[in-house]
Structure 1
């Protein structure tokens, strides 16, 4: 089947469409229903009648946006009418929810006239926290937005106008910087004079472009004052009429620094590109076919050509999804009365700044593993970059507060953390640890210091104040990679070829001389193997923690720290733990990486260590020893082992958390089974520490939860070591390294 048929099947699959309504409060009992509806609902109703602002407290209004259209100018389809536009408006709702966790009702109005359209939308103000106007033709869209902004006390935003303006404006800020030109000096030519073109031109002026440097062309050519005086252009185009001779697009583009295309495909030739000023900036944003193809624009000349389109298959995609979800998120969260120029500018500047930062591995993978680094082919972030939410929305919210249109105040740092939590429970949990780490950063040795991911992680660790990274390896290679990546930091590097590491070799010899290592071998190990070098540095107190394993098999990466650092004084057990986060639940799974067939004593130690780890994340542990037996339903050597581990823990006066077992996995995690069938259990809530009976089951279990249960996994976190050591999995991403660095710092603090 072709794309069209696939899309039809996608939309008609049961249930039809792309959105649904779901409840957010319990509705299981008669009491639940009496609270949700009659008679309980009367209380919040009366409060709102007394104070309308209470609607934001008692209802979904504060997170509800209306996407409103009459279908008169649907992108790529034209005037198809209100009913036919509904799949597009539902799709817009999907984007709001997916990128900013904003709920949407799509409203399709079969109204073409401005007056009744405004009357209908204005009457909906009690329902919504904001209005997103969509796919309404010009010039009516201008009057509709202006009137609704005046009449309504909630944000009204016409995305077709301002979305493109904000995103392309961010790209313009960075493109001008790349080619070393000032915005005030740019000569800009527009092809197209519709809603998005006019809004973009106005927005560029607010960013610093001079109005007299903007030339706008419509289908009849350059918009001149002569045409305006003759009544050939409407009042909105008239603002950009220039006192110049008439001509066509080719005349206008000659000598221009910037071309902005919001018209039709294929109207710009290579010759026209060659006529532009040095290092031209070309935003060819007609969809689906740009005014000139990426290949033709780039090959037209030999100097730097910065090219942006509206397509995902080329660099620098100008996509409105980078704007509207995050503008509304920031506006809703401070109960703004409007989305003003200051908020739009803040969004553009935040997007521009984000494009200059190191790009997460997950984003790179999502776009085909091609390098993404600030420069001519990357002046705007990618739509799937999750950081856009907590980089842009806070700036928008701050701008709303500073400009006086916010009805509530927020703390910027705490707000950022709330936004991160919307992206998943794992971010919320890691924020707890990272905040602890930042309160007292420690020195972390990064064993594989020449690896690009380690260098990028070191940059982020230092920039965020999580730790003081120490990169181990060839200094020239590390500095060269940092320069190539554009990372402006000067990390501490321990290069055995540049620094005398004899003392570390002597210490390794003292530790292992009765275990088969000679003095010469010890010296060679710290010289050539950064796992041994890093382990001895931690043992000597020259580093507080060690991260390794990114380019090694887990056992080979773990062996040096086990030999040099060893387990803590009060235990012989080291174990690997994964923290798995679901939407509203966190579980710690142990042991998933180290002990193949633990005995009862080892299982008890693993449980103690994992409980301590949970508390570092501010989680009070409730531990379950997992088995295929429930409290003696099967009696053999395997089930007795878990049962005996529970007895050891119950007899230990230092164990101050509930633990029980042996029990099946569903018994451990389903509260109704625990409190119903097994009401004698020491656990009165579902377990959040799951201790598997052996390595095989632990590894299988956590991977099934991750892949089929949709959990996010953080780890493996090594517990039971005498000093903080964490062994990464081969292929881990930069964010995984940063997360484990935070865990290591908190380990070192404690």
Structure 2
């Protein structure tokens, strides 16, 4: 089946289209409905009538954008009319929601004249917090946007003009830096003189390109002052007598910007450009010159960008409009001005210089993504764009005077991260605690690239003071190869004798079968023993390891050297699972195979303490396949006895009950309706599984089928902060566990 057939099936599958309206408030009871509509709805109506600004408080206006088109210039399809453009506008709504959690109504207007469109859109101002104009042909689009911005008191943004301008502008900032050229000295040639080309040329001037250094060509060649063109093209007309064709314009140019048609640039034209040329061939679906052809045309560096996703440096408008509107809506901006657009480009350019998350690398086929000629702008699926760009937009709106609402930008970043999932919201709590008092975290397997990148992030964000255990030369080579501005502390087992650690290991294990020579050998060849001994000796506050080891083998050295806490006899592995509106801690998922009641009770206490570090008040359920004695055997008695032991302990300060089935523990209707006698006054958020098999199966099913994000495994019960990673964990997992370890160490020091 071809792409067209796949797309038709995709759009036609029930329900047709790509978007729907869903409710955000309860509608289950008669009271719910009376609040949602009559008679309760009268109260917010009266408040808005008294103060129109209350519309942002009592309605969805503040998160609602209208995507408006008449279908007169749909990319790749031309003037197909309003009705036929609806799939495109629905698609735009999908992107708004997917990337910035913005709700959209798509509005297709069967109108042709600029006056009719302006009148129609302006009349919808009470409905929307912002207007995204889309696929409206030039030159009408210029007049429509300009007049609507003047008439309306909400942001109006024509993405076809400014989206490409902003994203390619970000690429230009980085490309010029890599090529060693100053913006003010760049000679820039445009192929194409439509809405996006003219807007891009204007924007490049805002970035620092000199107006006189821009040459614009249309299908008739270089636009000059003696040609009869519209007022928008005339703004970039070259002096009379400096005419010629595109090939003439490109000779000696530093930058080519293609927003025209495919295949019109030859290798000879690229060869005629200045040293280390910048080529943005953005015609879709076929660029003005192919990626391979442009690269092969020169022996020096050709910095190339296209509009295609199958080549490096895709100029994709989705990097801009969702996040621009997100920032604008959240400060209730009246406009999206030049300061906000420049701020967006600069933020995107800066983000491209940062280390790229593993999830983004995997999404793009594990291809290397590192700042340089092949990576000058972030990838569209990079989740960091939201909380890097939107706050920059909000700040620019505030500073330039178009915001009606002020924000604490640090708190705002955290709010944005929460939009990406509950796990980010929960981890932000721990990350902030870690930043308040960073601790030394030893990283076993410190010469692994992921560990090094994680160490860089820890240091960069002020989460921890990382200590990499590994080969010094290897670590230096990776740091240099990744281009990290980072001088990490390194403990190389082969450098120095580490005699004090070997001696300490011998003291701890001499009656457990380890000789002095074996202790020296273990410290020298096994970073887990070296790191564990560093923590035990107080030379590091915490240890992370296990990235390239099986879990049991990575856990063995810390257990032997660090051991359990003074008030603990057992350790356990805990996963925090985050859903859209709830958090659950699952234990034990990694350590104890067949715990008795004493172990289950202790694991519950440790896990409850862990929940509190995430600012969660624990409610503990001891799980089984039995509900409160419905089955009585040795297996069901263990969780029942553990719950009783905890309830009888005056030092236990959290509600606990069991044995109980999983649905009884987490479903409020079952808990309150059937088991109203339970000591749990709300669904449990700490689930203690009866054995390792059940715990491991349970958390993985919740993660994979329940759509939960999993953070962990977090070890509880250790004498010092030690966490064992899962093999293949990503950099973000390492950083998250490092933050948990730092908070552990902070509490140990209190």
Q: TM class by shorter-chain length?
A: over 0.9
> What's the counterpart of residue 585 of structure 2?
588
> What's the counterpart of residue 530 of structure 1?
527
> What's the counterpart of residue 103 of structure 2?
103
1:241 is the counterpart of 2:240: no
Confirm or deny: 8 A CA contact 1:443 1:470 kept in the other structure: yes
Deviation at 1:233, TM superposition (A): 0.8
1:506 is the counterpart of 2:472: no
Confirm or deny: 8 A CA contact 1:593 1:699 kept in the other structure: yes
Quote the Cα distance in structure 2 between the aligned partners of 1:571 and 1:326: 48
> What's the counterpart of residue 162 of structure 1?
162
> What's the counterpart of residue 745 of structure 1?
742
Quote the Cα distance in structure 2 between the aligned partners of 1:675 and 1:151: 55
* Secondary structure at 2:81 match in 1: coil
> What's the counterpart of residue 18 of structure 2?
18
Deviation at 1:304, TM superposition (A): 0.5
The one-character-per-residue Cα deviations of 1:721-743 (angstroms, maximum 9, x if unpaired) are: 00000000000000000000000
Match 1:295 to one of 292, 302, 305 = 292
Match 1:457 to one of 445, 454, 459 = 454
> What's the counterpart of residue 330 of structure 2?
333
Quote the Cα distance in structure 1 between the aligned partners of 2:142 and 2:74: 16
* Secondary structure at 1:225 match in 2: coil
**What root-mean-square deviation, in Å, do the aligned CA atoms of Structure 1 and Structure 2 show?**
0.5
Confirm or deny: 8 A CA contact 1:472 1:534 kept in the other structure: yes
Quote the Cα distance in structure 2 between the aligned partners of 1:475 and 1:67: 55
1:551 is the counterpart of 2:548: yes
Quote the Cα distance in structure 2 between the aligned partners of 1:358 and 1:74: 36
Quote the Cα distance in structure 2 between the aligned partners of 1:163 and 1:655: 57
In structure 1, the gaps of 5 or more residues are: none
Confirm or deny: 8 A CA contact 1:671 1:684 kept in the other structure: no
Quote the Cα distance in structure 1 between the aligned partners of 2:195 and 2:180: 30
Summarize the alignment of residues 651-690 of structure 1 with structure 2, pairs less than 5 Å apart: 651-690=648-687
* Secondary structure at 2:226 match in 1: helix
Deviation at 1:653, TM superposition (A): 1.1
1:693 is the counterpart of 2:697: no
> What's the counterpart of residue 641 of structure 2?
644
1:219 is the counterpart of 2:216: no
> What's the counterpart of residue 350 of structure 2?
353
The one-character-per-residue Cα deviations of 1:184-239 (angstroms, maximum 9, x if unpaired) are: 00000000000000000000000000000000000000001121xxxx21100000
Quote the Cα distance in structure 2 between the aligned partners of 1:326 and 1:556: 45
Deviation at 1:499, TM superposition (A): 2.7
* Secondary structure at 1:189 match in 2: strand
> What's the counterpart of residue 575 of structure 1?
572
1:488 is the counterpart of 2:501: no
Deviation at 1:458, TM superposition (A): 0.3
> What's the counterpart of residue 122 of structure 1?
122
Quote the Cα distance in structure 2 between the aligned partners of 1:456 and 1:260: 35
Quote the Cα distance in structure 2 between the aligned partners of 1:570 and 1:119: 73
Deviation at 1:636, TM superposition (A): 0.6
Summarize the alignment of residues 74-153 of structure 1 with structure 2, pairs less than 5 Å apart: 74-153=74-153
Deviation at 1:500, TM superposition (A): 3.1
Deviation at 1:449, TM superposition (A): 0.5
* Secondary structure at 1:215 match in 2: strand
Deviation at 1:571, TM superposition (A): 1.5
* Secondary structure at 1:463 match in 2: helix
Quote the Cα distance in structure 2 between the aligned partners of 1:242 and 1:3: 43
User: Which stretches of structure 1, 4 residues or more, deviate above 4 A after TM superposition?
Assistant: none
* Secondary structure at 1:141 match in 2: helix
The one-character-per-residue Cα deviations of 1:608-627 (angstroms, maximum 9, x if unpaired) are: 00000000000000010111
The one-character-per-residue Cα deviations of 1:508-554 (angstroms, maximum 9, x if unpaired) are: 00000000000000011111110000000000000000000001000
1:197 is the counterpart of 2:197: yes
Quote the Cα distance in structure 1 between the aligned partners of 2:698 and 2:690: 11
User: What's the TM-score, normalizing by structure 1?
Assistant: 0.99
Deviation at 1:572, TM superposition (A): 1.1
Deviation at 1:245, TM superposition (A): 2.1
User: What's the TM-score, normalizing by structure 2?
Assistant: 0.99
Confirm or deny: 8 A CA contact 1:717 1:740 kept in the other structure: yes
In structure 2, the gaps of 5 or more residues are: none
* Secondary structure at 2:441 match in 1: strand
Deviation at 1:496, TM superposition (A): 2.1
1:57 is the counterpart of 2:57: yes
Deviation at 1:321, TM superposition (A): 0.1
